[in-house]
Amino acid sequence: MSRLPQPRVLLLAPDRSYRTASYIRAADDLDIHLTVASWGRAPLTLKSGGIRLDPNSIESALDQVQQAAARGPFSAVLTTDDATVGLASEICERLQLPSNGPRARDASINKSDFRKFCREQGLATPAFSVISDGEPSSRFYETVSYPCVAKPLSLSASRGVIRCETKSDLSKAITRIRRLLAQEKPNVDQSILVEDYLDGREYSVEAILRDGSLTIIAIFEKPDPMTGPFFEETIYVTPPRLCPETVLTIERELVKITAALDFREGPLHAEIRISDNGIFFIEVASRTIGGRCGKVVEFLTGASLEIWVLANAVRRPIKAKRAHGAFGVMMIPVPEAGVLRRVEGISNARKVNGVVSVEVDVREGQKLIPWPEGGPYPGFIFSRGTDAGEAERALRAAHKELVFVTAPDLAVEVM
Segments forming the whole domain that contains residue 370: 324-410
Residues 131 and 75 in one domain: no
95 with 13, same domain: the answer is: yes
Asked if pLDDT for residue 380 goes beyond 90, the answer is yes
Residue 333 lies in a domain: yes
Predicted local confidence at residue 413, as pLDDT: 52
Beta pairing, strands 8-12 & 76-79: parallel
**Pairing relation of β-strands 33-38 and 8-12?**
parallel
In a domain, 354, yes or no: yes
Q: Is the pLDDT of residue 88 over 70?
A: yes
CATH number at residue 63: 3.40.50.20
The H or E element spanning position 77 is strand 76-79
- Residue 311 has a pLDDT of 96
pLDDT exceeds 60 at position 93: yes
- With 60 as the cut, is the pLDDT of residue 411 above it? no
| 46, pLDDT greater than 50 | no
| Domain contains 232 | no
Regarding whether 395 and 330 lie in a shared domain, the answer is yes
- Both 97 and 131 in one domain: the answer is no
pLDDT, mean of residues 72-79: 92
Look over the chain and give the mean of its residue pLDDT values, rounded to a whole number: 89
Give the bridge partners for 188, in sequence order: none
Tell me what pLDDT residue 410 has.
Answer: 63
- The dihedral built from the CA positions of residue 171, 272, 286 and 44, taken in this order, carries a sign that is positive
pLDDT for residue 279: 93
Per the model's pLDDT, the better-predicted residue between 150 and 228 turns out to be: 150
Is residue 360 within 8 Å of 346, Cβ to Cβ? yes
Residue 280 lies in a domain: no
Average pLDDT of the segment spanning 49-73: 86
Q: How many residues in total does the chain contain?
A: 415
Average pLDDT rounded to a whole number, residues 337-365 = 95
- Residue 87 maps to a domain: yes
Query: What residues form DSSP beta bridges with 79?
Result: 12
Band the pLDDT of 334: cuts 50, 70, 90. very high
Domain boundary among 165, 196, 227: 196
pLDDT for res 3: 58
Structural domain contains residue 287: no
Which runs of consecutive H residues, i.e. helices, occur in 288-387? 295-301, 305-313, 346-350
Phi and psi (nearest 5°) for 14?
-60, 155
Q: Answer yes or no: is pLDDT of 1 > 80.
A: no
CATH of the domain at 346: 3.30.470.20
Rounded distance between C-alpha atoms, residue 380 and residue 80, angstroms: 20
Question: What Å distances lie between residue 344 and 52, 244, 292, 351, CA to CA?
Answer: 41, 42, 22, 14
| pLDDT at residue number 45 | 47
**Is residue 14 scored above 90 in pLDDT?**
no
Mean pLDDT across 137-152: 89
Alpha helix ranges (H) inside 328-387 = 346-350
**Main-chain dihedrals φ then ψ at residue 113, nearest 5 degrees:** -65, -40
Checking if the pLDDT of 185 tops 90, the result is no
The predicted-structure confidence for 258-291, as pLDDT tens digits, reads as follows 999 999 999 999 999 998 888 999 999 998 987 7
Domain stops at, among 176, 196, 216: 196
pLDDT of residue 43: 47
- Any domain includes 92: yes
Question: Does any domain span residue 281?
Answer: no
Q: Where is the domain boundary, 143, 165, 196?
A: 196
pLDDT at 186 over 80: no
Q: Which of 8-22, 114-128, 322-336 has the lowest mean pLDDT?
A: 8-22
More confident residue, 136 or 367: 367
In total, how many domains does the chain have?
A: 3
pLDDT band at 15 (very low <50, low <70, confident <90, very high): confident
Average pLDDT over residues 250-256: 96
Assess whether 88 and 163 both reside in one domain: no
pTM for the model stands at 0.91
Residue ranges of the alpha helices (H) in 121-243?
A: 138-143, 167-184
Would you say 293 and 202 are in contact if contact means Cβ atoms under 8 Å apart?
no
Burial 309-338, CB ≥16 within 10 A → b, else e: bbbbbbeeeeebeeeeebbbbbbbbbeeeb
Task: Give yes or no for a contact between 13 and 84, defined as CB atoms under 8 angstroms apart.
Answer: yes
Q: Could you check whether the bond before residue 335 is cis, i.e. omega within 30 degrees of 0?
A: no
How deeply is 33 buried, as exposed, middle or buried, from its count of CB atoms within 10 A (0-12, 13-18, 19+)?
middle
DSSP character string of 231-293:
----EEEES-S--HHHHHHHHHHHHHHHHHTT--SEEEEEEEEEETTEEEEEEEESS--STTT
Predicted pLDDT at 141 = 86
